[in-house]
Chain A
Amino acid sequence: MSALPANAFDLLLGLGLIACAAGALLSRELFRAIVMFIVFGLLMALAWVRLRAPDIALAEAAIGAGLTGVLLLDTLGYLRRRFERPRPSPPSAPAAHTSDKEQTRS
């Protein structure tokens, strides 16, 4: 079996994978990080096609990009909703509120 030489598309896809992973890990905003992660999953599906593994590509496109993305975004929406809620505030609430918000951001 002779190995297929990598072409420009492979190089570009590899770079795209690493860039998306870096974006998912290093973005300041959580929302952007999650979107980058979903894009990463889609690129992974392409990479599986290039590795001649159509079964994994199908699974990755449906699971890695679709379901995981929905789960993460749903959790993010849940976090935001919790913070935007007008709290029936106990006295110490405002301080906790801002510090929580910082934690979701950073």
Chain B
Amino acid sequence: MKRYLLILLAALASLAVCAALALAVIERPEARTDLPRVVAHSTEHAGAPHPITAVLLDFRSYDTLLEVAVLLVAVVVALALREAQPDGPDRMGLDNPLLRAVMSWLLPLMVLVAAYLLWAGSTRPGGAFQAAAVLAAAGVLLRLAGVRLGGFAGERGARRLRALLVLGPAVFVAVGAGTALGGRAFLDYPADWAGGLILAIELALTLSIALALLSLFRLAPPQSDVERLPERRRRTRE
């Protein structure tokens, strides 16, 4: 009985939201400014000719900076929730020769695609986020195949990981502070440096975002599941 009441309530609530949004779609007010034209006009002076990259890293770079900060905060919370246990052998090692063989073909390709996306981002669809997503996917694949990323193991590795995680926001803030010290507004690049600065920021962002996504994935499993792996393998073979 109570369940039906809940469903009724949910249906009512979602209908109300639908109605409100539909009203917004039908009664859409006229735009006060023609944003596409403004963007098209000012893209000529921006550091990147591709309008979306220009919006992301030039006109609205505050948004992007804060977005990377959000990612960083997410990783920090995940790190804080991690259980104090030694980093055991990899839980997810599927240890399959076929997977490893495919990976040895796939990984260089994925890194290449990521580099291309990053580079193409200034003139064509692509950019730091897409490149970072592909890199993170490559890292997840590595992890599924049970390959450990040796550079990030142990005390020094953890420190290195944190440094790389902070690299993106740090470069971003440094550029912003640099422009502010140079007498311009925060993150307002000088015209002839804009291209280089944006590329530098994108490079740092790619590394940081990829590592952040990967470590959010890596931090999830509790380490004590390790000893259950052989038993699971036996079960899948049966």
Contact = CB atoms under 8 A, between A and B. Distances in A.
Q: Do chains A and B touch in the complex (CB under 8 A)?
A: yes
Interface of A: 54-55, 57-59, 62-63, 66-67, 70-71, 74-75, 78, 81, 85
Contact of A67 (B125, B137, B228): B137
B134 interface: yes
Contacts of B117: 58
B140 interface: yes
A62 B137 contact: yes
A58 B137 contact: no
Interface of B: 52, 92, 117, 125-127, 129-130, 133-134, 136-137, 140, 144, 213, 216-217, 220-221, 225, 228, 232
A4 B133 CA distance: 31
Given A55-B125, A67-B217, 20 more contacts: A54-B125, A55-B126, A57-B125, A58-B130, A59-B130, A62-B130, A62-B133, A63-B129, A63-B213, A66-B133, A66-B137, A67-B137, A74-B220, A74-B221, A75-B220, A78-B220, A78-B221, A81-B225, A81-B232, A85-B228
Main SS at interface, chain B: helix
Nearest to A57: B125
Contacts of B126: 55, 58
A59 B221 contact: no
Contacts of A55: 52, 125-127, 130
12 contacts: A54-B125, A55-B125, A57-B125, A58-B125, A59-B129, A59-B133, A62-B134, A62-B137, A63-B129, A67-B140, A78-B221, A85-B228
Contacts of A59: 129-130, 133
Nearest to B36: A1
Nearest to A54: B125
Nearest to B144: A70
A14 to B, nearest CB: 14
Nearest to B229: A81
A21 to B, nearest CB: 12
B217 A70 contact: yes
Contacts of A75: 220
